Homo-oligomer: A and B are copies of this chain.
Amino acid sequence: MPERAVVLLSGGLDSAAALAIARDRGLECHALSLDYGQRHRTELAAARRVAAALGAASHTLVPLDLRMFGGSALTDDIDVPKHRSGDEIADGIPVTYVPARNLVFLSLAVGHAEVVGARSIYLGVNAIDYSGYPDCRPEFVRSFEATANLATKAGVEGAGVSIIAPLMDLTKAEIIRQGVGLGVDFALTSSCYDPDEDGRACGACDSCVLRRQGFEAAGVPDPTRYR
């Protein structure tokens, strides 16, 4: 029986690559997505398409409305920043930061992993070409893993769970090339923070800028549908 993994799947480019990598390592992948009231809900449809295309064994959607906490341009009526340069994006924590998002998502993944019997959790964070979010850094991921194994029955009585961030040290271009090599169809993914009703990308938010630059640097045609 193949070893199992939980894969946090947002529907974006990075998590699709993370899922492809986990599958390539022979893992039975159980995808987990969160409906947290994000304004870019088109990414949840993308997550379903990606999970199906990459052969996830299951795909669980957790409704958790983080809008009641507020405080982010991704969930509130705060304008998503547009047309920022790479340097501007890298400088400081942006208004699209959602308080404690990866902490909450990883915690849910730990619970899911314990129930399905998964030994690892894959997530698509990376420290290069990222958007300045503190919960995408390797020191956070390592610390979370230690905490998770103190919190759970699996950690106390069994082998515990490993938190795997296979993209951590890759540039966006490297992620794209690796994904293409593993058969990821990036046309299925959605990265935009502010898509239109048809799911077409704005081309100008931080996430679109990083994605577009990544395809250019990778020498891979950009399959994104822009407005």
Contact = CB atoms under 8 A, between A and B. Distances in A.
A159 interface: no
A66 to B, nearest CB: 7
A60 B64 contact: no
A58 to B, nearest CB: 11
A198 interface: no
A17 B62 CA distance: 32
B134 A153 contact: yes
Given A68-B60, A101-B111, A140 B134 contact: no
A108 to B, nearest CB: 6
Contact of A63 (B65, B100, B108, B111): B65
Ordered nearest first, which 8 A-B pairs have the shortest CB separation? Answer: A100-B111, A99-B111, A99-B114, A71-B115, A140-B150, A135-B151, A143-B147, A103-B151
23 contacts: A62-B65, A69-B111, A70-B115, A71-B114, A93-B156, A97-B153, A98-B111, A99-B110, A99-B114, A100-B152, A103-B147, A104-B104, A107-B107, A134-B153, A134-B156, A135-B150, A135-B151, A135-B152, A139-B150, A140-B150, A140-B151, A143-B150, A147-B147
Interface of A: 60, 62-66, 68-71, 93, 97-104, 106-108, 110-112, 114-115, 134-135, 137, 139-140, 143-144, 146-148, 150-153, 155-157
